Structure 1
Amino acid sequence: MTIMKIGTKLTLRYLFATTLLVVAVFAVLETLLFPRTGYDMLTILNVKLLIIWVLSFTLLFVIGYFMARSVLKPVSKIIKQVEDITASNLSKRVEIDNQNDEIAELAETFNGTLDHLEKSFEAQKMFISNVSHELRTPMAALIAELELSLHKERSNEDYKKVVENALADAHSIEKLSTGLMDLAKASYNAKQISMSSVRLDEVLLDASAMVMKAHGDYNVDLIFGNDTDDYSMVTITGNEYLLRTAFVNLIENNCKFSSDRSSKVQISFSKGKVFVRFSDTGIGISDKDMEHLFEPFYRGENRNFSMGHGIGMALVDRIVKLHKCTITVDSRRGQGTVFTLAFEHI
């Protein structure tokens, strides 16, 4: 990290010196310009006041000039260093010797802004790199399949197989692009997202129906843990589309990593909270993968068990944070995984 050193000076000593000098000037003028007898006191008073005004103004101007230079000097240094900072050298920071003045607070605030900018730029670079990599694989496979089919004549069955493979690659690209758009929406500021009253039981029904329609071999067992006619107990303030997206991802995650392709979803409420649990009896998640579970594009030890792009769990995490709820994960290798979401109901 490049260090830019900024020195700041206290101005209290100048204020103190100014006070002493003004008092001294007045004392000297009092002695020299106020004789006891022999002068017209009114004339002398006018002269004295004029001289005192001129000398005081001059003295205050000179001292104020040096005080201003002392105060603004570190600000000028900060400005010069800031002009040298670009997107390619965001690692530069400002170091402050004196931690007890306003200049130090300014530099610390600027350093904090640079920290956020550097993290954002690094995340953006990583995101673009990962997206490029994920898109390149299905696109390359699609192009290869089509080019190979043009090289020689094939039977109708061969052409059908080529079309099926190309369609599978196209679906993979579509799913990736949809996931990226949802990830972008979930990255918005909470104030930019429309929120309304949402019944979680209805969203879960929609999500489970969507999963089973898209995957004929998936099975979702939806269980309501409490019986009540008060729908407010399962109603929260949220965005229905994003919640449905998160639930679909969790259900699909349960199903695709389970040998029986099933997910058990349970909704219950207690003490002002609504709990939604997504459980399976699948292969589980290792401790190492658990540490990176919500990182975008991370593919753990289970990558060979099922296809994916590593977007789903990162998307779930961002949606959960937008809705200010908590998510806990309990997983055991070879026994299964349970995701528990806790919402504040209205």
Structure 2
Amino acid sequence: MLIRNKLMLRFTLLVLAIQVSFSAFIYYFYATTRRQRFEHRLENAATLSGRLLVRTGKLATGNLGSIRRGDLITIPGEQISIYGPAADLRYSSTDDIDQAPNQLRLKRLKPRQPLLFTIGLNREAIGMAYEYQGKYYHIFVSAVDRLGWAQLNRVRILLLVGNVGALALTILAGWYFAGSALRPVARIIRQAERISASNLGRRLHEGNRRDEMAQLAMTFNVMLTGLEQAFESQRSFLSHASHELRTPLTTLMGTLETALTYDQTLEDARQSMTESLDAARHLHGLTNSLLALVKVDGALPAFVPVRLDECLSQALDYARAKYPGRELRLVFGELPEAEETDVFMVPGNAQLLTTALLNLLDNACKYSTGAVQAELAYAAAHTLRVRITDTGPGLTPEELKRIYEPLYRTSGAINRPGYGLGLPLTQKIVQRHGGRLELTSAVGQGTAATVWLPALTGQGLI
């Protein structure tokens, strides 16, 4: 069901419920008022009958004199029955009155407590004990409130017709207001339909930037910005990847074709095979790096408690083996005051964390001839920090902005080994571990790479 139809249906049901409740209240109020008014008339008629027949002594003597049966009738269709102290019928306004209902209630009548009851569908009656000279006479008066019932029927018809008319108007109003409320959504849909992969730069109109529709459009625009950046990164990645893969493949194919055509001696063949092997190794390393970058984006094994200091020590051992003679220092910063056995525990994957730290150390050693320092400390009560600093040439602000793009290489890295995948891979690993990577650098002053990771221990810090 369309949202517009849902809104219209809910609006109609809500208004209908209010109408029905209000109509029921009016009908109940009018019916109660009619009943009370008629009961008051019956009580007055019973009192009048007692005064004219009982107090005058006419019932005691049995001589009604000039009073005829019809003289006491004040309500159309009124029936009056009077019983003496011995529960014997002393007076009835007509001879065809059914006395059974009255006789059933004789013993229930009490002084100053009128008894109200109904005979049949519409005939209402009242019974009362009337005192005269220490004796109680029982007076019953019944009648049909024709005028009251007729008015109540008119009210019922009026409310029914009014509710039907109001329901029709409510449906029309619900249709109009639902359409009016959803008009901004329809506008957003039309604008979104015009956006595709070829024109992700377009944005939705954000209206007044205050109401819910404006917030929805703003959220879509933020999402579109992210998609546009992702598409640009993907295009850039594919462009660089194709270029990087094409170069060693071209070298490998050219060397093999040259060797097949021109190499005549074993020495020439060995030289061609050496060059081909170097190109194949470069292609193999680039392929493995690309696969590692894709693998980190996929599902990872369940994290377990890992000692970050051991990961860092292992990464330092790998770096020392790759760069013999290079000074690599490990220092510890602020630690928890409490003496704990495993203060460097983090949830994660030891192999991936070691790879990330090794990439940072490899970059520091690759672009710096001086000492490289790795510091391990607590940045906060539950946050571990690893900072790796070098004294290399540093990076420009423009290079820092693009440093995390896959296959991007700075101007100073053109003649150095590498594929431009180390930092993007490291950033993804750190992010998948709930951490953050940040590089700060200044030209001529070196670079500092800082990693923050959530710790499992460290309570009671400072």
Structure 2 partner of 1:57: 167
**Aligned partner of residue 302 in structure 2, secondary structure:** coil
**Aligned partner of residue 146 in structure 1, secondary structure:** helix
Moved more, 88-97 or 180-189: 180-189
Q: Deviations over 1:157-199 (max 9, x none)?
A: 221121111111111112212222222244458xx56322111
1:209 deviation in Å? 4.0
Distance 2:380 2:153 in 1: 88
Distance 2:441 2:195 in 1: 45
Q: Do the aligned residues in 2 keep the contact of 1:199 with 1:231 (CA within 8 Å)?
A: no
Structure 2 partner of 1:45: 155
Specify the code of the residue in structure 2 equivalent to 1:300: T
**Aligned partner of residue 388 in structure 2, secondary structure:** strand
Specify the code of the residue in structure 2 equivalent to 1:131: A
Residues 1:204 and 2:312 aligned together: yes
For this pair of structures, how many residues does the alignment match?
312
Change (3 A) 1:156 1:231: farther
Structure 1 partner of 2:351: 241
**Aligned partner of residue 257 in structure 2, secondary structure:** helix
1:339 deviation in Å? 3.5
Distance 2:232 2:272 in 1: 39
Distance 2:262 2:233 in 1: 45
1:131 deviation in Å? 0.9
**Aligned partner of residue 232 in structure 1, secondary structure:** coil
Structure 1 partner of 2:330: 223
Q: Do the aligned residues in 2 keep the contact of 1:220 with 1:251 (CA within 8 Å)?
A: no
Change (3 A) 1:204 1:55: closer
Structure 1 partner of 2:225: 115
Specify the code of the residue in structure 2 equivalent to 1:205: S
Structure 2 partner of 1:92: 202
Structure 2 partner of 1:139: 249
Q: Given the two structures, how large is their TM-score scaled by the length of structure 2?
A: 0.57
Change (3 A) 1:156 1:336: farther
Distance 2:256 2:217 in 1: 58
Taking only aligned residues, the RMSD between alpha carbons, in angstroms, comes to 3.7
**Aligned partner of residue 88 in structure 1, secondary structure:** helix
Specify the code of the residue in structure 1 equivalent to 2:163: W
Specify the code of the residue in structure 2 equivalent to 1:255: C
1:101 deviation in Å? 3.7
1:105 deviation in Å? 3.2
Residues 1:72 and 2:179 aligned together: no
Specify the code of the residue in structure 2 equivalent to 1:46: R
Match of 1:161 among 255, 271, 281: 271
Distance 1:328 1:57 in 2: 67
**Structure 2, gaps ≥5 residues long:** 1-10, 24-146, 458-462
Matches for 1:120-131 after TM superposition, within 5 Å: 120-131=230-241
Per chain length, whose mean CA-contact separation is higher, i.e. which structure has more relative contact order (CA < 8 Å, sep 6+)?
1
Flag the structure with larger Rg: 2
Distance 1:69 1:186 in 2: 47
1:144 deviation in Å? 0.9
1:212 deviation in Å? 5.2
Q: Do the aligned residues in 2 keep the contact of 1:220 with 1:265 (CA within 8 Å)?
A: no
Specify the code of the residue in structure 2 equivalent to 1:149: A
1:59 deviation in Å? 2.2
Specify the code of the residue in structure 1 equivalent to 2:201: S
Change (3 A) 1:116 1:327: closer
Specify the code of the residue in structure 2 equivalent to 1:241: Q
Q: Do the aligned residues in 1 keep the contact of 2:323 with 2:365 (CA within 8 Å)?
A: no
Q: Deviations over 1:113-157 (max 9, x none)?
A: 322222222221111111111111111111111111111233222
Q: Deviations over 1:14-69 (max 9, x none)?
A: 99xx9xxx9xxx9xxxxxxxxxx999424422332232223222222222222223
Q: Given the two structures, how large is their TM-score scaled by the length of structure 1?
A: 0.74
Distance 1:223 1:173 in 2: 34
Change (3 A) 1:152 1:38: closer
Specify the code of the residue in structure 2 equivalent to 1:252: D
Matches for 1:251-330 after TM superposition, within 5 Å: 251-259=361-369, 263-267=372-376, 272=381, 274-286=384-396, 288-323=398-433, 324-330=435-441
Distance 2:230 2:405 in 1: 15
Change (3 A) 1:144 1:287: same
Distance 1:124 1:156 in 2: 45
**Structure 1, gaps ≥5 residues long:** 1-13, 27-36
Change (3 A) 1:88 1:218: farther
Q: Deviations over 1:257-293 (max 9, x none)?
A: 3448x75545455764544443445544455544443
Specify the code of the residue in structure 2 equivalent to 1:223: L
Q: Do the aligned residues in 1 keep the contact of 2:389 with 2:449 (CA within 8 Å)?
A: yes
